[in-house]
Structure 1
Amino acid sequence: MDAHIRDLRYFVAVAEELSFTRAATERLFISQPSLSRQIRQLELTMRARLFDRDRRTVALTDAGAALLPLARRIIEQWEDARRAVASAREERTLTVGFQTRIGRGLVPSIVEALPGWELRFRQITWADPTVGLGDGQVDVAVAWLPVPGDGVYDWTVVSTEERWVALPAGHRLAGRAEVGLAELAGEPFVALPRTAGPMRDFWLAADRRTGPALVREFVRCLCP
């Protein structure tokens, strides 16, 4: 099977960072296991090992070094093609990517931000942190921050919201007006799938929890 543009973006990120961890968390906003699987699939497609790696270092192989400038060129040409097609389209239609139901009054905000355009909506899986932009499935996306920070994508905040917790009526904390995150550290949570990466960690408030066990997970996928 042919490689996707997204796979080449992942490869370039790892090649430039020479770190799967940094590429995953700082540039692509996906989990490291997901990135490793995608790179492995690209290697199978190319029938070549692209990286030499051990627990401490990552280095390009000769095959990886040969692919890197071509991958950058392909990505640039793809972006040029998308811009050319967008300029040539007679109808003003945009495909909008999303990963969960667009509520909270966001649709009017999107329409206001894109006057004169007909909008079509497409749902994208949580495994794609670009919400369909990376492989050209959509023209614009509605996404929760953070978004991939490699400088490829521009973004505008159209709405902000508070982070709430829903509890059973009989729960020991249910009567409280405010609940500290440390008090929830041992509670089971309905969460996004692991493929959502940093998005999942944000909504579980992983950076704000304390204690050896951050959460006993009761993982339920919130998408099809």
Structure 2
Amino acid sequence: MDVHGRDLRYFVAVAEELHFTRAAERLFVSQPALSKQIRMLERTLGVALFERDRRGVALTRAGTALLPYAQRVLAEWQTGWEAVEAVRAAQRAGLVVGMSTSPGRGGLLPAVRSRVTAEYPEAVLTVRQFSWDDATAGLADGTSDVAFVWLPLPEPERYGWTVVAQEPRLVALPDTHRLAGRPAVDFADLLDEPFLALPKSAGPLRDYWLATDARGGREPVVGAEVSSSEETYEALVGGQGVCLLARGNAPLLMRGGVITRRVVGVTPSRLAVARRADDDRPLVHAYLRAAAEVAGV
């Protein structure tokens, strides 16, 4: 036997009000239409649900038996509808994707976007560029929702991430540098070189790109601080120092006057897509999941 949700809503309204006119006002329908619908429901069930006389309206034994079940069905439906609305809201939501340099790497960014929008067609993804001052690319202050970042992150317990690329670190040098003729450079030969450093606000990432863990306790010589690839290129050609970078970022600096060489004696770099650890929105998880699938991890 099929009974529409509307029929149950009408029945519950009359049962709770015990007055057809008040129930009709509550439902924003006419009283004749409500009475007609209740009579149709009674015919479908084959039993009277209300006793009607000049003194008013009362539930029959059948109506009294049905009421708690009808109320429960409507409450469960409301809960289900709210769950669906939450999913729809997530699908319509926007997501800010932070980065300090373009991920590049074989079209990683558009491939991730394609997967996410296939799952959430109404989602709006916005890419936002951040200075190297912020190692979290906007995650720390909530400016971005997910971000392409280099590890390590400051306060790592605040974040979750998926590594999407692991690449050797190279050294960028002026093409007139004394080590430019070598196919690979031992890091020990760079210990006395002035290095270009990220701003101090980058935290542990500054130390990572200075390779402080490979210096045996020797303090790095900082020739200049840089906050973008443009500043880095100008400092390199200006002879202010050398710098380490991931292999995938080499094209950003390999213009006139700058070369890159493989470095022996330092660990590989790791590019990750990160989120705040307390951000469990489905769209955020979908982005990290898509990044892992595209990267094959």
- With structure 2 as the length reference, what TM-score do the two structures score? 0.41
The residue type paired with residue 89 of structure 2 is A
Match of 2:198, SS state, is coil
How far off its partner does 1:159 sit? Answer: 1.8
Match of 2:127 among 106, 121, 128: 121
How far off its partner does 1:189 sit? Answer: 2.2
How far off its partner does 1:193 sit? Answer: 1.5
Partner Cα separation in structure 2 for residue 150 and residue 171 of structure 1 = 37
The question of whether the paired residues in 1 share the 8 Å contact of 2:152 and 2:205 is answered with yes
The question of whether the paired residues in 2 share the 8 Å contact of 1:109 and 1:158 is answered with no
The question of whether the paired residues in 1 share the 8 Å contact of 2:137 and 2:149 is answered with yes
Q: Which runs of 5+ in 2 are unaligned?
A: 1-84, 232-297
| 2:186 counterpart residue number | 180
| 1:99 counterpart residue number | 100
Shift in alpha-carbon separation, 1:210–1:216, aligned structure 2, 3 A? farther
Match of 1:101, SS state, is coil
Match of 2:134, SS state, is coil
| 1:130 counterpart residue number | 136
The structure 1 segments of at least 4 consecutive aligned residues displaced by more than 6 Å after TM superposition are: 84-87
Partner Cα separation in structure 2 for residue 86 and residue 123 of structure 1 = 29
RMSD: 3.0
How far off its partner does 1:129 sit? Answer: 3.7
Partner Cα separation in structure 2 for residue 163 and residue 122 of structure 1 = 25
Partner Cα separation in structure 2 for residue 113 and residue 153 of structure 1 = 23
Match of 2:173, SS state, is coil
Q: Deviations over 1:47-82 (max 9, x none)?
A: xxxxxxxxxxxxxxxxxxxxxxxxxxxxxxxxxxxx
Partner Cα separation in structure 1 for residue 93 and residue 173 of structure 2 = 45
The question of whether the paired residues in 1 share the 8 Å contact of 2:197 and 2:222 is answered with no
How far off its partner does 1:138 sit? Answer: 1.6
Alignment of 1:21-32 (within 5 A): none
How far off its partner does 1:199 sit? Answer: 0.9
Residue 157 of structure 1 pairs with residue 141 of structure 2: no
Give the count of matched residue pairs: 141
Partner Cα separation in structure 2 for residue 86 and residue 128 of structure 1 = 32
Shift in alpha-carbon separation, 1:212–1:136, aligned structure 2, 3 A? closer
Alignment of 1:77-96 (within 5 A): 88-96=89-97
The residue type paired with residue 100 of structure 1 is T
How far off its partner does 1:85 sit? Answer: 8.4
Match of 1:120, SS state, is strand
Shift in alpha-carbon separation, 1:164–1:190, aligned structure 2, 3 A? same
| 1:65 counterpart residue number | none
How far off its partner does 1:120 sit? Answer: 0.6
Match of 1:126, SS state, is coil
| 1:110 counterpart residue number | 112
Match of 2:201, SS state, is helix
- Higher Rg of the two aligned structures: 2
Q: Deviations over 1:141-161 (max 9, x none)?
A: 111111245533221112222
